[in-house]
Structure 1
């Protein structure tokens, strides 16, 4: 990781099968993964998370939908410019909705782990436009 960018990723994933897989992939690439919990938990966690390189959001669960979470991250004074990778279902409307909400990139499920890691590294390591 570059010293200019932290190696901490905030992971918001409700899917009990996908979440551990994503975490193993990220940790295997040297990232520190912070459990974002539900969308409401994630907003509260932004205050204490310290520097983060990327928010990866699969689904938020009850209480706060993904678009509202994206808005909260974008409004946060410390994390407003942090890239967000959305992992919507394979539905073009969901992808468009996420992109319109200001995420940095979308990767529709199902996806290949190598493509996921490539996008994460591009966004988290500052090789994408911020």
Structure 2
């Protein structure tokens, strides 16, 4: 064991089946996964779960929508630089809105697990 704690990923996914699948993929790659809950929960968790290496967001559920969540994260000086991977529906308008709100990358659903893991690795474990 290297003694280095695993990179923590805050996972926000309203779809329970997708959340379970993504969590299994991430844990299998050695990440620690925290359930991000709803959009408002995610903002609070960023403050309490530091350091977070990546936020992965599919849908936030009721309350704060995804774009508002991305903008809120980017406004916060303490957490504004945490990488964000958005998982929007296969709609160019949704992808454009997420990118305009400051996400680092988008992967439209449906996607292949291999591509999801590659993008996650790139964002959560950038080359030194």
TM bucket normalised to smaller: over 0.9
Corresponding residue number in structure 1 for 2:84: 84
Structure 1 residues 4-62: Cα deviation after superposition (integer angstroms, max 9, x where no partner): x9600000000111000000000000000011000011111111011011000000001
Does the 8 Å CA contact 1:7/1:124 hold for their aligned counterparts?
yes
* Number of residue equivalences: 126
Corresponding residue number in structure 2 for 1:57: 57
Does the 8 Å CA contact 2:46/2:52 hold for their aligned counterparts?
no
Measure the CA separation in 1 of the matches of 2:115 and 2:56.
14
Corresponding residue number in structure 2 for 1:96: 96
1:116 aligns with 2:112: no
Note the residue ranges of structure 2 that are not aligned, 5 or more in a row. Answer: none
**TM-score (structure 2 length as normaliser):** 0.93
Note the residue ranges of structure 1 that are not aligned, 5 or more in a row. Answer: none
Query: What's the RMSD between the two structures over aligned residues?
Result: 1.8
Task: Identify the structure with the greater helix proportion.
Answer: 2
Structure 1 residues 59-102: Cα deviation after superposition (integer angstroms, max 9, x where no partner): 00010000110011112222110110000000111001101111
Measure the CA separation in 1 of the matches of 2:42 and 2:92.
25
Deviation beyond 4 Å, 4+ runs, structure 1? none
Measure the CA separation in 1 of the matches of 2:78 and 2:31.
20
